[in-house]
Amino acid sequence: MKTFYYPQREQWGEILARPTQDNGDIACTCEKIFAQVRADGDTAVRHFTKKYDRVDITDLRVNEEEFAMAEEAVSEELKNAIRLAAANIEAFHRAQISEPVEWSDGRGLRCRQETRPIESVGLYVPGGTAPLFSTVLMLAIPARLAGCREIVLCTPPAADGSINPAILWTARLCDVERVYKAGGIQAVAAMTFGTQSIPAVCKIFGPGNRYVTAAKQLATAHGVAIDIPAGPSEVMVVADRSAIPAFVAADLLSQAEHSADSQVVLVTWTPEILPAVEAETERQLALLPRREMAEGVLRHSRTIVVRDRAEALSVVNEYAPEHLIISAEDYDDFADGVLNAGSVFLGNYSPESVGDYAAGTNHTLPTAGWARAYSGVNMDAFVKKITFQELTREGLERLGAAVVTMAENEQLTAHANAVAIRLGEYGTE
């Protein structure tokens, strides 16, 4: 890890910069695949599945037999682990369900805000080397709680045409019935336009590689909403002398094994901990199966030594990390000052991996600095908040003159008339 000692504020931007990606070529590929899926439906999805996933799929939808095989294939140990995680995720997301907001001026005007589920949602679950059944939990549980009528799940098939049994078992646990063997750009296109098998949806959720991310972006141009712009995963660890070097090292490594473009940043105002953190990182790294990838990530990751806690907080808010681990004294006090972050892990016994799987918080979080403006996925992401207003005649009498004045000043005469005619101030017969 490259270490920066007491950098000037003007240097922070450069030190904290994420690598930029040029996706120009991908955008073009997306356009082509979207056009073909829109025109040819299932046939096009099958064609691209053959081309990119190298497998012939006859029936895109996972059938009852495959679900039954998954039930057999998943170990009881994993089932119990998933059940515990599901219970926590359900409990914490249920706690987020908001009550209707009601307000009245007490004089004939009543306003309220109510939530309604998004009717149909599409969940994208990456396949490939790591079968992300945890993502099924993170997206399907809140979708169910919100009352989304239709939940569609797309995930790429393995070379033998199968879907990882843990993904299928988890989907079934979460009452997701419609699971499709489709991945990449073609899956996103299918959920955008609908095909013979795969229904079109109102909003698409889920992580994915650069292709999936670009496809989700393109889906928005066709009237489909998406959860958040996705980018490589990242962690910032804030550690002081109360941190335990072996734990800090384990947290840095758990981010570093994610993918080759993962971001890892360590911030401290007690540089005396650094030699022990580095030694532990070396030692633990040697034991990892994904050692090569983690090594590459660590090579371009950064340690920033700052003057004090206050400056560390400024660095956090400047970077806006997806995951923030605070292994420092008075972490609650520090957390109060955090303005920009996706999810925050407090103290020495709250590793990121607990939030990734089972703490109950969502692991679909804003990366690349989007935490400055975006929340992670939460119950809000599966509903709309609709406002309702009701005036009595008396309410309109009280408010009407103001509306007429404002409308006339905005030169919107008919807006004024809609009030005046109700108050008998505009020529009805």
List, by residue number, the catalytic residues: 322-323
Quick note: the x/- pattern for a copy of itself over 88-127, rule CB under 8 A, is x--xx--xx-x--xxx-x---x-x-x--xxxx--------
The footprint of a copy of itself on this chain (CB under 8 A) covers a number of residues equal to 128
The answer to the question of residue 263 lying near a copy of itself (CB under 8 A) is no
Give the residue among 226, 37, 8, 275 at the shortest CA–CA distance from 121.
226
Residue type, 103: W
Instruction: Tell me the C-alpha to C-alpha distance, in Å, between residue 406 and each of 262, 399, 410, 416, 422.
Output: 52, 11, 6, 8, 17
What is the spatial distance between Cα 237 and Cα 205, in angstroms, rounded to a whole number?
Answer: 27
Q: Indicate the residue among 268 and 340 with the shorter CB distance to a copy of itself.
A: 340
Candidates 82, 171, 190, 298; binder of a copy of itself (CB under 8 A) is 82
User: Does residue number 73 form part of the binding site for a copy of itself (CB under 8 A)?
Assistant: no
Pick from 156, 206, 232, 369 the residue near a copy of itself by CB under 8 A: 369
C-alpha to C-alpha distances, 196 to 188, 193, 208, 336, nearest whole angstrom: 15, 10, 24, 50
Please say which residue, 26 or 305, places its beta carbon nearer to a copy of itself: 26
Answer whether 169's CB lies under 8 Å from 140's CB. no
Residues 125-184 close enough to bind a copy of itself by CB under 8 A: 129-134, 166
- Asked if 419 contacts 400 with a C-beta cutoff of 8 angstroms, the reply is yes
Binding mask 314-333 vs a copy of itself (x if CB under 8 A, - otherwise)? ---x----------------
| Residue 82 or 273 having the CB closest to a copy of itself | 82
Q: How many residues does the chain have?
A: 429
Q: Kind and range of the H or E element at 282?
A: helix 274-285
Interaction between residue 76 and a copy of itself (CB under 8 A): no
Nearest to 315 by CA among 86, 24, 4: 4
239 makes contact with a copy of itself (CB under 8 A): no
According to CB under 8 A, which one of 4, 300, 353, 425 is a site residue for a copy of itself?
A: 353
Is the Cβ of residue 60 or residue 383 nearer to a copy of itself in the bound state? 383
Q: Which residues contact 112 (CB under 8 A, 6 or more apart)?
A: 100, 101, 102, 103, 387, 388, 389
Answer yes or no whether residue 21 interacts with a copy of itself by CB under 8 A: no
Nearer to a copy of itself, 2 or 393 (CB): 393
Q: Which residues ranging from 185 to 224 are in contact with a copy of itself (CB under 8 A)?
A: 202-203, 220, 223-224
